[in-house]
Amino acid sequence: KAGVTQTPRYLIKTRGQQVTLSCSPISGHRSVSWYQQTPGQGLQFLFEYFSETQRNKGNFPGRFSGRQFSNSRSEMNVSTLELGDSALYLCASSTTGTFTEAFFGQGTRLTVV
């Protein structure tokens, strides 16, 4: 069974640009959530999508947005990039039930210069 796939693995962008990250969940998983990991702030929840609807959102500015497609694949977009957006962005997928574990991808390492 294939795991969670995130593309690309590495990205370098310039301040002010925008970026789109992609996540393909495990087959059959309909919930996809996104996390930002930085040395200073640790792992912070961005948002969660279930059946193409945003079900939960963390405390991030509106520059961070996402969407989910009918095949459960998800994209995350960051507009007007800032240096502080440099981080490892992790996607996690899970089944529809509550109290289920999340399966994480390897992440996309975004560097903003």
Could you list the residues that contact another protein (CB under 8 A)?
4, 6, 31, 33, 35, 42-43, 45, 48, 50, 55-56, 58, 90, 92, 94, 98-107
Report the residue number, 48 or 85, with the smaller CB distance to another protein. Answer: 48
Report the residue number, 45 or 60, with the smaller CB distance to another protein. Answer: 45
Report the residue number, 70 or 99, with the smaller CB distance to another protein. Answer: 99
Closest distance of CB 58 from another protein, Å: 8
CA angle 20, 63, 18 (to 5 degrees): 35
